[in-house]
Amino acid sequence: MKRFPWDILLALLIGLGLGLAYAWAIAPQRFTTSEPSTLRADFKDQFRSVIAASYAATGNLPRAEARLSLLKENSEEALSAQAQRTIASGQFEQADQLAALALALENGGNIPLQLTPTVEIFEPAASNVEPSITPFPSPADLEFNLTETPKVFETQPATTQTTSNTPTPRPTRTPAPTQGPPFLLSSADNTCDPNLPEGLLQILVYNSNRRQLSGVKVIVTWDSGEEQFFTGLKPELGNGYADFLMSPNTTYTAQLGIGSEIAINLLAQTCQASNGESYLGGYKLTFQQP
């Protein structure tokens, strides 16, 4: 009866353990020439975010293009998709930077950046504070130095310096670059479709090449409030699509946050269905760069 070769098995296990220890602990392989295109998806998102932030600060589009080329992908589509994901996560400032870079790449760098910082006005905390006046010292506290020829000084009545209510401008963080040229309101149509939600305000945003733009901020205001949202949150309806539900008997205005004409007097009209029932219609607005 043959004996089991325990010595051979033990030698194999020892050799395997020594090999793993050498490969993982003593001399692990180090990657020093890897390219950004080999990064994981989340690391690629961080790479694009840093490039978009740099472009927002400097406006250097050729440098941003050179850096994005290292990822070896369609930069416009990748930036637009990441902007939509970033909007969904609530990081609107970063989404604006990504969308601005995607828009600049799409237009070939013909969009000027306005990097002028804005100022924020603060009113004084208390505007009715009376100024304090330092009283003149009493004669007993004054020291007199007499000279041979005394000098005569003309005295003037003390004037009270009033507190100025002029607000002091203070610098704030430079926002995401405003895109130009401004968008034009190419159409504003009433919609009566019983298959749509009542009071639906539909908004479509195109560039000069009739391509829909995602990540564009839309601002809708009315007498008692305001709401801001972005295009591209419903990609199944289009990258440049956004919508808003209007209330009856309320007049709205709509515009784009990166500069556009303003659509005014948007009031949902009453529509008549084929069966005679009434329902609330909506609006469809189309903005496009010239």
Predicted pLDDT of residue 165:
53
The number of C-alpha atoms within 13 Å of 133 and in the hemisphere containing its C-beta is: 8
Of 83, 112, 78, 178, give the one whose Cα is nearest residue 67.
78
Distance, CA of 45 to chain centre? 16
- How far apart CA 258 and CA 228 sit, in angstroms, is 12
Q: Is the peptide bond before 181 cis (omega within 30 degrees of 0)?
A: yes
* Three-state DSSP string of 165-199: CCCEEEECCCCCCCCCCCEEEEEEEEECCCCCCCC
- Contact between residue 190 and residue 272 where contact means Cβ atoms under 8 Å apart: no
pLDDT (tens digit, 9 = 90+) per residue, 218-276?
999 999 899 999 998 888 888 889 999 999 999 999 999 877 889 999 998 899 888 88
- Ranges of residues in the chain with a pLDDT under 70 are 1-2, 31-33, 109-181
Count CA within 13 A, CB hemisphere, residue 163: 14
**In the chain, which segments carry CATH 2.60.40.10?**
184-288
Place of tokens 């556009």: 260
* CATH numeric code, 184-288: 2.60.40.10
Per-residue model confidence (pLDDT) at position 159: 45
Torsion of CA 231, 247, 219, 255, to 10 degrees: 90
What pLDDT is stored for residue 170 in this prediction?
Answer: 55
Per-residue pLDDT, 116:
39
DSSP 79: H
Does the pTM surpass 0.75? The reply is no
Exposed / middle / buried, residue 13 (Cβ in 10 Å: 0-12, 13-18, 19+): exposed
pLDDT of residue 110: 57
